Amino acid sequence: MASEKELFDITIIGGGPIGMFAAFYAGMRNVKTKLIETLPVLGGQVALLYPDKTIYDIGGYAAVTGKELIKQLQAQMSLFDQEICLEEQVQDVIKNEEGIFELTTAKGKHYSRTVIITTGQGAFKPRKLSLEHAEDFEDQSLHYIVSNIEQYRDKTVAICGGGDSAVDWALTLEPVAKKVYLVHRRNKFRAHEASVEQVKTSSIELLTPYIPHELHGYDGQLTAVTFKQAKGEETKTIDLDFFVVNYGFSSSIGPLKNWNIELEKNDIIVSPKMETSIEGIYAAGDISTYDGKIKLIATGFGEAPTAVNHAVHYLRPEEHAQPYQSTKLSFDD
């Protein structure tokens, strides 16, 4: 049996924004908490894929960049002394005869009375451009992830894609770059309507319906991209310094699919308590699903306290699942 020193009340798998907020909230409920994250840093996709991107749908913020959001979440977490394990991927989770969960990673075992899974959409990688010689320009002038806004300052940038990421990056780079083009294979975008309207009234030049056809450049530096009509033969060539492709990401839930938790495609089915098909295991954020689910960070921020509170009730059945409001708490008491 695990000793009391190594046995935790709640272990959170996944250190993105939802996992970080769940860890903070578990501290509010005064339970011994551990967070395990595969990546070498906290923050998940927000930290790695769009740290400089402006996010508009977080309650309490008119606008906030990804890195500022993660910074604030880290500040919240720092109020409590939780154990953080980075660069560990949970390979297996089993419930032993004593009702304790054993979480196995390449570095060893972790023991917990309850588990909250907040792994988002799992491991991810960008969907790449399928053009000849595209790999020759990757990481230099052909980008799938925007990690440093300053490299685009006073440059000409073409962004390809029709979703929120492409539209948001175009708007973010407009005041930085010399010129921004937004290229999409359809006339209609899949992004939020307000963002699309903002693009239309900006200096961003739209090119629709067009698709990338040919790359021009040398020594890893693009000089131009030729675009072709999606359903036609007309072409247009744009001289540029950087080409950003936002075709989305493919993801994999990895070992999770073997944990005997009920899934719907790659999502974990949860109850209104955010409990999975295994008693004592909960899920929140994009990895979880239920009827009417909307996948937003804002949604996950509501699901995390729900999961934590019901996990605490599971640990302490004599206590109500409904907590006190945080305005009634004092860290000095």
What's the chain's Rg over C-alpha atoms?
A: 23
Tell me what pLDDT residue 307 has: 98
Paired with 94 in beta bridges are 102
Work out the end-to-end distance of the chain between its first and last CA atoms, rounded to an integer number of angstroms.
34
Segment holding 54, helix H or strand E: strand 54-55
Q: How far apart are CA 2 and CA 99, in angstroms?
A: 12
Beta-strand relationship, 108-117 and 235-239: unpaired
Tokens of 28: 């509010």
DSSP string for 180-211:
EEEE-SSSS--S-HHHHHHHHTSSPEEETTEE
DSSP string for 98-154:
TS-EEEEETTEEEEEEEEEE--TT-EEEEPPP-STTHHHHBTTTEESS---GGGGTT
Question: Which residue matches tokens 């011994």?
Answer: 32
- Per the document, the length of the chain is 333
Q: How far apart are CA 209 and CA 215, in angstroms?
A: 18
Answer whether 35's CB lies under 8 Å from 304's CB.
no
Successive 10-residue mean pLDDT values, the chain, 333 residues: 79 97 97 93 84 86 93 96 94 96 96 97 81 92 88 97 91 96 96 93 97 95 97 96 89 88 95 98 97 96 97 91 66 49
Tell me what pLDDT residue 184 has: 97
Tell me what pLDDT residue 333 has: 46
Phi, psi dihedrals of residue 201, rounded to the nearest 5°:
-100, 5
Tell me what pLDDT residue 146 has: 83
